[in-house]
Amino acid sequence: MTFLTVMKSGSFTLADRTRGREKDMKIPSLLDMIGELIAIPSISSTNPQYDQSNGPLVDLLATWCSDLGFACEIMPVPDHPGKFNLLATLGEGDGGLVLAGHTDTVPYDLNSWQTDPFELVQRDNRLYGLGTSDMKAFFALSLTAVEQLSADNVLPERPLILLATANEETNMAGARALTGKPSARYALIGEPTGLKPIRMHKGIFMEAICLHGKSGHSSNPDRGKSALDGMYQVMGELLRWRKELQAEHTNAFFETPVPTLNLGYIRGGDSPNRICADCELDIDLRPLPGMAIEELRATLRRRVRKSLATSGLEIEFKALFGGIPAMETPADAEIVKITERLTKHAAGAVAYATEAPYLRALGMDTIILGPGDIEQAHQPDEFIGMERLQPMTDILTQLITQVGRL
Ligand SMILES: [Zn+2]
């Protein structure tokens, strides 16, 4: 971990940048901040060709946070050069609120965009740009809310923490790297939810099952060991397991109220007259809250091995995606009740995964609530409706105030 004044080599430090500034330096206007954030590319991708550092974006956020009086800490994400988390803290003591978001965007297809993805374009009461909805505008709104409370001199005593993470769109390395802090009572993640509070989502993990047998001429099955025959057994076992899981676990809160297990990809064999030596099946499993990924993965592997016990096939498992746990914040948590009141919507569930389970694991009751729409996320011509900006600022100022009184 590094503090601002010992930031990464090759980059100028915040101390340099703020030297000579007045103490009561103001942050830019909301639209200017959104524009500046959009103008800094911060794509994360599993393809190294597209993957970018989020360092410049984090530096800019830290500058604005410092201008508002936050103590800023920029933490390199282990094993991910060029990737950083920002932890900016205002106030001291126990409890308090974390406003959390990710700094990265997905890659874009320039041919599909009608405007420059890195230029904020205002048209038809919308703000267009890569990351407007998902979710750079949220940071600008958070800082605007803090500035307003600060100007009115009504910032609460309890700590207010801005958390900006790296790599949410790929492997959640930023959120996974958080240990011990931030430490607060509550957290809000400003992912695009159309201004509706979300307190639950499913988890996800992906696994490859690879079977290795022995090829041979199809006319004599004794000459080989068919990986395809074995995979047929595996698929039967997986479908039986799925049925059991869906009978044992239901949650009516979700549109699809059961855990899902999808057989998504299969490859094997090379010719109808040869015994298939190798076969791979890739699956994804989406557990409900309360179902632990490690246990599910262990059960999956045990059942697959058992179904092939007498096959003579070699079995190999690969965790294609280590997984993101499901998350649930209790309906009676204060932050759920407050955000339900402020938005006039009952807290719901979504089908996508977020960084919320990692904040829950740090002990915070976490709600997901942001101004963008998920329909616009990861799409060409991504935009945020301007009619969302003031309501989100109001939600944030009131949430900060009300949490401060708890
Ligand atoms: Zn997002």
Distance separating alpha carbons of residues 332 and 365, to the nearest angstrom: 10
What is the CA(6)–ligand 1 centre distance, in A? Answer: 29
Point out the catalytic residue in the list 168, 207, 328, 373: 168
Question: pLDDT band for position 13 (50/70/90)?
Answer: very low
Nearest 10 degrees: Cα torsion 378, 318, 261, 45? 0
Distance separating alpha carbons of residues 91 and 278, to the nearest angstrom: 59
pLDDT at 25: 60
pLDDT at 9: 31
What is the CA(369)–ligand 1 centre distance, in A? Answer: 11
pLDDT digits (tens, 9 = 90+) for 273-329: 999 999 999 999 999 999 999 999 999 999 999 999 999 999 999 999 889 999 999
270 labelled catalytic: no
Percent of all residues in the chain with a pLDDT value above 70, rounded to a whole number: 94
More confident residue, 94 or 315: 315
What is the CA(264)–ligand 1 centre distance, in A? Answer: 24
22 labelled catalytic: no
What's the chain's average pLDDT? Answer: 92
Point out the catalytic residue in the list 59, 67, 73, 104: 104
**Residues 113 and 63 sit within 8 Å (Cβ to Cβ):** no
Neighbour count for residue 217 (Cβ, 10 Å): 11
Question: Tokens 């103001």 — which residue?
Answer: 26
Nearest by Cα to 118 from 386, 126, 105, 172: 105
Segment 341-359 shows an average pLDDT of 95
Nearest 10 degrees: Cα torsion 281, 282, 287, 291? 70
CA distances, 176 to each of 166, 273, 368, 406 (Å): 10, 48, 18, 28
